[in-house]
A and B are shown apart, each in its own frame.
Chain A
C-alpha cells in the first residue's frame, strides 16, 4: 500500500523516540558504572573501575550477591520439577478440575505482590520463618512456578503425545517414557522456564524487603535500602552486571527455544 513519505517519516520518528526512551536507562547505566567520580555527571569525566572495586571489595555486597545466587539456584531446583509436573498434568487432563487448578497456579501473576508479601510476612511471623533461607526459597518457588508452567505447557502443546503413548505401549513405564521420549523434546521449554524462574528470584525485591534480613539479606534488598538513603554509584556497577547477566540468560533461553521450534 502506498503511503506518502511524510507520514511515514513522522511515524518512524515517533517509534524511534519511544525506542530511545525504552533503551535510555540501560544505555545510561553502563557509562555511569565506569565513571571516576561520585557525582552523576554525564558523560563521565574519566573512566575507572572504581565502582566495580567498591562492589567486589565490600563484604556486604558480596554477602547479598552470594545469597541471591544461592536463592536463585535453590528456587530453580525446586520450581522446575514441580512446575514441569504440573504443566504435564495440565496438558494431559483437560477436565474442569484441572482448569481451575491451572487458574490457582497462575495466582502469583494475578494478586499484587505487595499483598502477597504482607500476607506471607504475617504467616511467617507466626511460624518463625522470617529471616530464614527456607522462607525466602519457598516464596520464590511460588513466584517462579507460573513462569515454568507457562513455558512448559507451551512446549507440550507443540509436542506430539502419541510418541509417549507408543513408548508406553512398547512396555516402558510412564515415568521412563516421559524422561526418555517426552522430556528430551521439550527440554528447551523446561530450560527457558527455569531461566525465567531464576531471573525472577534474583530480581525479587518486595517479599525480600519484608522477610529477608540479617545474614539472609538478598542483593536486591541491600540495593533498595541503599537507593532509599542516597544514590551510591556502586549500584551502577551492580546494575550493569545484573543487566548483562539477565540479558545473556534470556538469549540463552531463547536460542534454545528457537532450535526446538
Chain B
C-alpha cells in the first residue's frame, strides 16, 4: 500500500496544476461578486444587531411591493413581446438562403453590440413629444396631438424589448438551425399541410430555444436599470431603481440590501428551475 500508483500521482499533480491555473480568475470573481453580494446579504439582516425589519418593510410598505409587482409585470410583457417578435426573425434567419440569412443576423447583431446607453438615447430622441415618431405620425395625419411614448411605461417597454430582442433571437436561431429540414419534408409527404407540420413538428422541436430565450429575457428584465431610469421618466420605478435610490438618495443601505437579496433570490430560483430542463451553461453561452 506504500507505493502510490504513478499514474494516480500524475493525475493528482495535474489536478492541482489546473486548479492553480483557474485560481486567479476565481479569486477575482470571489472578491468582486461573492464577497460583495455576501456583504449585502449580511447588511440586510444586521443593523446594530440581527433584524428582519428591512424584509418586513418589503412586504408591508406599498412602495416596495408595488415596485416588485411592476417589475414582474414589465418583465412578463417584455418577455412575451420579444418571443412574438423574435420567433419569426429567428425562423427567417434559420431558413433564408445566403445572403439574406447573413443580413438578418447582422440586423440582430449590430444593435446587440451597440451600447445600451446609445440605444436608450436613440429611443429618447425617437419617442419624445417632439421626436421623430410623433413628427412622422403627425405628418401622415394619423394623430393630431403628440403621443406620450416616453417618460412612461410604454417607452420603457419599447426600448427594453429592443435591447433584449437579440437574447431571444440568438438561442431560438441556434436551436432552429439544428432542426433537420427532412423532418418537415417528411411531414409534408405524409400529407401534413405547412401549418400542421409547423405546429406538430417544428414548434415542439424549437421549444428548448424558446425556454432559453424566455428565461434569459425575463431574468435580464428583472434586473434592468439604465433603460427604465432614462426612459421611465421617474414614474416607472423598477426594483433596480428602488435599490439604487435607497443607496444614492436616502443612504438606506440596509433597505437597499434587502431588496437586492430578494431580487437575487428570484433570479437564482428561476435559473435553478429552468436549469433542470436546460443546462445553464448552454443558456448563458448566448449572452
Contact = CB atoms under 8 A, between A and B. Distances in A.
B132 A116 contact: no
Nearest to A25: B122
A226 to B, nearest CB: 9
Given A115-B37, A227-B121, A246-B114, A141 B22 contact: no
A215 interface: no
B111 A26 contact: yes
Interface in A61-114: 82-83, 85-86, 88-90, 92-93, 95, 97-98, 101-114
A22 B107 CA distance: 7
Given A103-B280, A118-B40, A142 B243 contact: no
B29 A112 contact: no
Given A23-B110, A138-B28, A116 B33 contact: yes
B135 interface: yes
B108 interface: yes
- Give the interface SS of chain A, mostly helix, strand, loop or mixed: helix
Contact of B115 (A23, A150, A246): A246
A159 interface: no
B204 interface: no
Interface string A28-44: 11001000000111100
Interface range on chain B: under 10, 10 to 19, 20 to 34, or 35 or more?
35 or more
Given A112-B264, A116-B36, A106 B281 contact: yes
A156 interface: no
Interface stretch (A52-60, A120-128, A184-192): A120-128
A82 B253 CA distance: 33
A228 B225 CA distance: 13
A33 to B, nearest CB: 11
A49 interface: no
Contacts of B77: none
Interface string B263-275: 1100110010000
B33 A107 contact: yes
Interface range on chain A: under 10, 10 to 19, 20 to 34, or 35 or more?
35 or more
Nearest to B226: A205
B168 to A, nearest CB: 11
Nearest to B187: A1
A12 B95 CA distance: 12
B36 A110 contact: no
B118 A243 contact: yes
Interface string A1-41: 11100010001101100110111111011001000000111
A56 to B, nearest CB: 18
Contacts of B38: 119
Contacts of A246: 113-115
Given A104-B34, A121-B247, 18 more contacts: A25-B119, A40-B125, A41-B130, A98-B22, A104-B26, A112-B264, A114-B223, A115-B260, A116-B37, A118-B260, A119-B37, A119-B40, A123-B36, A224-B226, A228-B229, A231-B121, A231-B128, A235-B121
Interface of B: 14-15, 17-19, 21-22, 24-26, 28-40, 43, 85-86, 88-89, 92, 104, 107-111, 113-126, 128, 130-132, 135, 162, 165, 184-185, 188, 194, 197, 219, 222-223, 225-226, 229-230, 240, 243-244, 247-248, 253, 256-257, 260, 263-264, 267-268, 271, 280-281, 284-285, 287
7 contacts: A1-B197, A29-B121, A111-B264, A111-B267, A142-B28, A142-B31, A246-B115
